[in-house]
Structure 1
Amino acid sequence: MRGILQVLAICSVALAAPSQLERGNHVVHERRTIEPIGWVQSHRADADDIIPMRVGMKQQNLHMLEDLLMDVAHPDSPTYGQHWTPERVADFFAPSESTTFPQQGWIEVNVTVATAERLLDTEYHVYKHPSGAKQLGCHSYSVPEHISDHVEIIKPTVHFNHRVSEDPTRLRKRANPNHLGQPFSGQGPKTNGAKIDAALSLATCDQFITPDCLRALYNFHYTPVATAKNSYGIVEFTPQAFLAPDLDQFFTNFSSKQIGQRPTLVSIDGGKSPVYLCVVQTIAQNFNFNGESDLDLEYAMVLTNPQPITLLQTGDLVEGAGFDNWLDAVDASFCTFQGGDDPNQDGIYPDTLPGGFNQPESCGIAKPPFVVSVSYGQDEGTATHRYATRQCNEYGKLGLLGTTVLYSSGDNGVAGFGGVCQNSSGVDDDSPDAVRFNPGFPGSCSFVVSVGATQINSGATVNDPESACERVIFSGGGFSDIFPMPSYQKTAVTNFLKVHPPPYSAAQFNNSGKARGFPDLSANGANYVIAINGQFELVFGTSASSPVVGSMITMINDARIAKRKGPVGEFRDLFIELYEGFINPAIYSSKFAHAFNDITTGTNPGCATDGFTAVKGWDPVTGVGTPNFQKLLPLFLGLP
């Protein structure tokens, strides 16, 4: 309550006597990383104009999140597996004394532009769009240092929340802010264009990866028996969508009993796939629009058969979606958490544009699956600290609930999407002078499982050691510029930096020794055979690795549920101790070390360097290595 009173006091001081406000102790609270596309700064705002200022109060107890996760996720913890209920999570992290304010932790006050500028040590400008729309905002703002820990966000400031009308003929070409699911975004698997018509067997796994190759590589042999109580979710972002004939073509060749099977659709903010009667995705049918979804679902469905797969299809065709949108759908409290979604990054619904999803945003429409794989990402430098931190904390909250969230680590080595690096200011820059490594997000978040990529070397077999992926793509990895090193990886990462110090300076990467390192583990990411648009092609990417690891964790969950099967009809919350949730503390522990195949060859080049090198133990190329399922299974079954 003290923090709220301080904020109210500052507001009252600003209103009554702005000159009394000390400006010397202000600290920058938020700064816009990228200027909004299409908007042009026009002129200074009129000093006498009134701003309806909204101050979002910071949630409580977030500083305890990592420790709380360790309590339920570390294999040596006496409370391992004792996951929280959604109600407990929401209450524990709600703003302090939030019931005092009807707007869920928001304080509203009307001030003049002049007062707001003095209060926030900034300048307000009017921005204009070619459509005629106008927006009031500032490039950055500051708050007095002694209240910065109590304030999460202040609006209007750096956030652009207008979505302007467009020419209807261009709507289907419009990208969402993150370009997730868009063919020109650099997202999704890569292809070398090879068409497959050769006979495939375990003898050809160095050229063609199939489900049988993965089973042999990772000793992954398991048939699920507790599918009714288990769940595995795959997130896709519109317009990326699978094609039903592609699934059946893949099943015909690799799992004939599954012909006709489809994932269970959860439509988020208007998300649709063409297999369903309400067809929306009719822009195109080609690798760029269908490759990611086909890949994710073909392998996840076959490797976990007969486990039903939940498809979290996110965003409409007009606006699309960002990562926060699927999180809203599985956690209603996140929709308003710390100010709600970011219009610069996420889809904002209802979508009033022609053909858009004109209903309220999808908040809390589905329970979070026990395992969720997301084969998408963005450059960490394109996310504000607030956006990245807010989202990362949500992954931590899902971990407390018992959900394992996996993200692919990226396909450009130490560079960002498209091979772009950062300049000295930490901004994406494709000029030759930009040499700073460009970590990926959300894979850099400490509360997700970041999955890198390996390959079977030419001429090698499934029984030979793999190397870091260096075919078509390079395993994304490195050190975060936002997130500190979590306690669970301190020993492993510190050892890497000490024994194998990278030959790069602080100007190239965060070499403080205190940063989150990624990926956490890896799986094969080269030469995947997928059915796409009526033919078989080879694809490459950590976007293949993530759903494969997710499939293994899902089968481990199945075994744990089956081991302690409860009475028929028992509610999900009574089984929360049976599935894994946040696995990172376990996989980094010494007792799990022998359950991974250590990868000690290969690099992840980028930014005019060789990148990092795969070495003995953890490394920022392949993490702790690739899983050996038959060694992991008894370890997890032996936990409480």
Structure 2
Amino acid sequence: MLAFLSLSLFCLSFALSIQASSKLSPLILHERRSHIPSRWLLARKHDASAVLRLRFGLKQSNIHKLEDYLYDISDPTSSNFGKHWTPAEVAKTFAPSVETVRVVYEWLTENGIPSESLKISASKSWIEVNTTVEEAEKLIHSDYHVYRHEFGQEQVACNEYYLPEHVAPHVDIVTPSVHFDAAIRPKPMTRDTALMKSDITVVNTTYPGVGHCDTQISLDCLRALYNFHYSPSKSSLNSFAIVEYTPQTFNQSDMDLFFTNYSIPELVGRPPFQVSIDGGYQQTFNQSFDYVGEPHLDLQYGMGLVTSKLNVTLYQVGDAVNPNTSFNNFLDALDGSYCTYEGGDDPTTDAIYPDRQTGGYDGPPACGTAKPAAVISTSYGYNEADLTSFYATRQCNEYAKLGLMGVTVLYSSGDSGVAGNGQQCLNDDGTQSANGTRFNPSFPASCPFVTSVGATQIVAGNSVSDPEVAASRVTAGGVFYSGGGFSNVFGIPDYQKDVVATYLENFETINFTSAAYNSSGNSRGFPDVAVNGAAYVVAADGEFILEWGTSASSPTMGSILAMINDARIAVGKGTIGFINPMIYSASFRTAFNDVTSGSNPGCGTEGFTCSSGWDPITGLGTPNFEKLKELWLALP
């Protein structure tokens, strides 16, 4: 459980500074939800005598400087380039101020909350009190109702709430309140892979070398495409990790089949280095493609590309029964301060441990239990519209903090073009449906503090020496287009302003208007880069099959960046950390192969089109390892 202190005891450390002074200030709207989320219905007014665990997420110090801090160590022109922070420095810099704690404390006690009933987290990031619904409604001037999902789950929420004007600047969030937008899924997140069970292509012959890369991608194809021929020498000082969410799991016999076929005997019988988070484990109750396809794609190529000299870390997250295991649960394990940052995890969206379900993980939540790898690749994602902007922003800020600590975070950009996972598009009221007309950006790919990876492919009949195009595939089993577009939540980062402006100036819509997407020119565009994501040969369920998706692109890019870290470490330099300001600089753009053909249809449109330079389908293009390595080696 999270660590708590009695707030009254905490306040003794500065009790003399607290005077009982009634502060009368007008109420202001703090948060409002515009609509009831999809598949939820209003069930009833909540019982006035029911007990709520009311939590107040406190405003973090210096959070407005977060982006500046990150750019200061990530911009190659900065004198502080590469001077990464320690976790302790990060926690200290962003901890709430004593003034924030004092103001919220005074407000609560002045409104009849006994000081002895208030608790504060050990990090001083949030205040909690158990109160009745009636008391909570009076305190934040709201009405609590019970909502029921079509799957049967119930949720306590309100439509809006108010805080005194002098208190509001010190509070980021109140829970429970308006935050229950995340859709319930049978899996924690949607896999970014377009391959469906009815659409599996079984490979009878796997081709070594690069003679058939237009129909079957192999390790050799990727090395040839991206000039990626490198053997690591400083593996003991380097790290590369891939994230999976139980029950998605690998099967060692399939791993051995892959590495035997591609003549890498050193990896036969050798699993990745597994770090269990919140009960994560290799389940054996189902080893069909639906459960092993994603991990096998990620691990077979991630491990194969960095060779046996670097032991890839597998972060296996969550037990097999909790459907809400989330990115936040994973981030808690990497950074203990995140467990309580800005109110902590959201029980309506994130898994809460101990999990008392049969077969659930009944241990304490993982907080700071896993060391962050230097490069982390994840091929899972939400739609931005699944989440509140607060939830997405809170998580995005944590990726920035990891960047401060020298971690490179990669996310696949999605497989549905300009549509969201499940081919969901936005309606005018912000809800999602298959027949919506507005583009639906993915998350975390749209976070400006991660590197988002799109997908390309080789045109049929072409070779690895020919230019690639944006990935696309349409079959009876589904469609696959490289995800990309413009965020509806995050503003445009400085490193991207010129390339986005250039693209929008030259882009002409064909069968949709600017109302279909955030065309302001002031929002984050994604992806940042692209890597082949078509027809990867994967061993799964005892046979070789082909897989498509940006799920393939992200771990491949991660492998390339991990080897660049190795080259830097070999000459006594640090890891590359947050790479976006570098790769968007004029010199680094020349190290990417520009992709100028293709589009990413969705939402009843042809989507965006590729162009010279950056575009919201393939980003800056595909990497040239040798050019990137030399550029990074030239930096401090």
Q: Same fold (TM over 0.5)?
A: yes
2:4: which partner in 1?
A: none
Q: What amino acid maps onto 1:314 in structure 2?
A: V
2:303: which partner in 1?
A: 301
Q: 109-118 vs 417-426, which deviates more?
A: 109-118
Query: 1: distance between equivalents of 2:153 and 2:261?
Result: 54
Measured after TM superposition, the shift of residue 282 of structure 1 is 2.9
What CA deviation, in whole Å up to 9, does each residue of 1:585-615 have, x standing for no partner? 0010001111000000000000011000010
SS in 1 for 2:236: coil
1:188–1:291 contact (8 Å) kept in structure 2: no
2:339–2:367 contact (8 Å) kept in structure 1: yes
Does residue 319 in structure 1 map to residue 322 in structure 2?
A: yes
Query: 2: distance between equivalents of 1:633 and 1:400?
Result: 21
Q: What is the 5 A alignment of 1:612-631?
A: 612-631=608-627
What CA deviation, in whole Å up to 9, does each residue of 1:390-439 have, x standing for no partner? 10000000000000000000000000112110100122112x3x100000
Could you tell me which of 332, 344, 347 is aligned with 1:343? 347
Q: What amino acid maps onto 2:499 in structure 1?
A: A
SS in 2 for 1:510: coil
Does residue 427 in structure 1 map to residue 435 in structure 2?
A: no
Could you tell me which of 248, 253, 269 is aligned with 1:245? 253
Shift in CA distance, 221/117, structure 1 to aligned 2, threshold 3 Å: same
Does residue 264 in structure 1 map to residue 273 in structure 2?
A: yes
Shift in CA distance, 116/188, structure 1 to aligned 2, threshold 3 Å: same
1:284: which partner in 2?
A: 286
What CA deviation, in whole Å up to 9, does each residue of 1:9-36 have, x standing for no partner? 99966xxxxxx7635xx23425387659
Shift in CA distance, 38/479, structure 1 to aligned 2, threshold 3 Å: closer
Measured after TM superposition, the shift of residue 180 of structure 1 is 4.2
1:276: which partner in 2?
A: none
Shift in CA distance, 554/113, structure 1 to aligned 2, threshold 3 Å: same
Shift in CA distance, 210/79, structure 1 to aligned 2, threshold 3 Å: same
2:464: which partner in 1?
A: 462
Does residue 453 in structure 1 map to residue 455 in structure 2?
A: yes
Query: 2: distance between equivalents of 1:117 and 1:151?
Result: 17
Measured after TM superposition, the shift of residue 561 of structure 1 is 0.5
SS in 2 for 1:581: coil
1:271–1:314 contact (8 Å) kept in structure 2: yes
Q: What amino acid maps onto 2:413 in structure 1?
A: S
Query: 2: distance between equivalents of 1:424 and 1:69?
Result: 35
Using the size of structure 2 for normalisation, the TM-score is 0.87
2:481: which partner in 1?
A: 474
Query: 2: distance between equivalents of 1:11 and 1:285?
Result: 64
Q: How much identity, in percent, do the aligned residues show?
A: 49
Query: 2: distance between equivalents of 1:152 and 1:363?
Result: 21
1:29–1:143 contact (8 Å) kept in structure 2: no
Query: 1: distance between equivalents of 2:404 and 2:266?
Result: 36
Query: 1: distance between equivalents of 2:29 and 2:488?
Result: 19
2:419–2:603 contact (8 Å) kept in structure 1: yes
Q: 592-601 vs 57-66, which deviates more?
A: 57-66
Shift in CA distance, 134/177, structure 1 to aligned 2, threshold 3 Å: closer
Q: What amino acid maps onto 1:253 in structure 2?
A: N
Using the size of structure 1 for normalisation, the TM-score is 0.86
Measured after TM superposition, the shift of residue 44 of structure 1 is 4.8
Query: 2: distance between equivalents of 1:132 and 1:415?
Result: 27
Q: 446-455 vs 92-101, which deviates more?
A: 92-101
Shift in CA distance, 61/211, structure 1 to aligned 2, threshold 3 Å: same
Does residue 221 in structure 1 map to residue 229 in structure 2?
A: yes
What CA deviation, in whole Å up to 9, does each residue of 1:225-270 have, x standing for no partner? 0000100010000110011011101101112332111101100111
Does residue 190 in structure 1 map to residue 198 in structure 2?
A: no
Q: 384-393 vs 143-152, which deviates more?
A: 143-152
2:379: which partner in 1?
A: 375
Measured after TM superposition, the shift of residue 616 of structure 1 is 0.2
2:82: which partner in 1?
A: 81
What CA deviation, in whole Å up to 9, does each residue of 1:187-230 have, x standing for no partner? 44525421112351311000000000000000001000000010
Shift in CA distance, 50/377, structure 1 to aligned 2, threshold 3 Å: closer
Measured after TM superposition, the shift of residue 45 of structure 1 is 4.0
2:114: which partner in 1?
A: none
Query: 2: distance between equivalents of 1:109 and 1:361?
Result: 21
What CA deviation, in whole Å up to 9, does each residue of 1:492-542 have, x standing for no partner? 111111122445434311111100000000000001000011110010000
1:574: which partner in 2?
A: none
SS in 1 for 2:563: helix
Structural RMSD (CA): 2.9
Shift in CA distance, 133/34, structure 1 to aligned 2, threshold 3 Å: closer
- Give the number of aligned pairs: 591
1:177–1:322 contact (8 Å) kept in structure 2: no
Q: What amino acid maps onto 1:535 in structure 2?
A: E
1:267–1:314 contact (8 Å) kept in structure 2: yes
SS in 1 for 2:524: strand
Shift in CA distance, 248/138, structure 1 to aligned 2, threshold 3 Å: same
Unaligned runs of 5+ in 1: 14-19, 162-174, 274-280, 565-576
Does residue 582 in structure 1 map to residue 586 in structure 2?
A: no
Q: What amino acid maps onto 2:315 in structure 1?
A: L
SS in 2 for 1:545: helix
Q: What amino acid maps onto 2:383 in structure 1?
A: D
1:178–1:346 contact (8 Å) kept in structure 2: no
1:31–1:141 contact (8 Å) kept in structure 2: no
Measured after TM superposition, the shift of residue 380 of structure 1 is 0.7
Query: 2: distance between equivalents of 1:377 and 1:49?
Result: 35
Measured after TM superposition, the shift of residue 56 of structure 1 is 2.0
SS in 1 for 2:279: coil
SS in 1 for 2:473: coil
Q: What is the 5 A alignment of 1:465-614?
A: 465-472=467-474, 473-502=480-509, 504-564=512-572, 578-614=574-610
Query: 2: distance between equivalents of 1:109 and 1:193?
Result: 52
Q: What amino acid maps onto 1:346 in structure 2?
A: D
Shift in CA distance, 50/342, structure 1 to aligned 2, threshold 3 Å: closer
Query: 1: distance between equivalents of 2:456 and 2:154?
Result: 49
1:208–1:528 contact (8 Å) kept in structure 2: yes
SS in 2 for 1:225: coil
Q: What amino acid maps onto 1:317 in structure 2?
A: A
What CA deviation, in whole Å up to 9, does each residue of 1:76-103 have, x standing for no partner? 1111111001100010011112787843
Query: 1: distance between equivalents of 2:64 and 2:457?
Result: 39
Q: What amino acid maps onto 1:402 in structure 2?
A: G
SS in 1 for 2:56: strand
Measured after TM superposition, the shift of residue 55 of structure 1 is 2.1
SS in 1 for 2:619: coil
Measured after TM superposition, the shift of residue 143 of structure 1 is 3.3
SS in 1 for 2:590: helix
1:233–1:369 contact (8 Å) kept in structure 2: yes
2:456–2:618 contact (8 Å) kept in structure 1: yes
Q: What amino acid maps onto 1:438 in structure 2?
A: N
SS in 1 for 2:31: strand
1:277: which partner in 2?
A: none
Q: 115-124 vs 493-502, which deviates more?
A: 115-124
2:176: which partner in 1?
A: 156
Q: What amino acid maps onto 1:482 in structure 2?
A: V
1:205: which partner in 2?
A: 213
Query: 2: distance between equivalents of 1:123 and 1:147?
Result: 20
Query: 1: distance between equivalents of 2:375 and 2:413?
Result: 17
Query: 1: distance between equivalents of 2:259 and 2:153?
Result: 50
SS in 2 for 1:358: coil
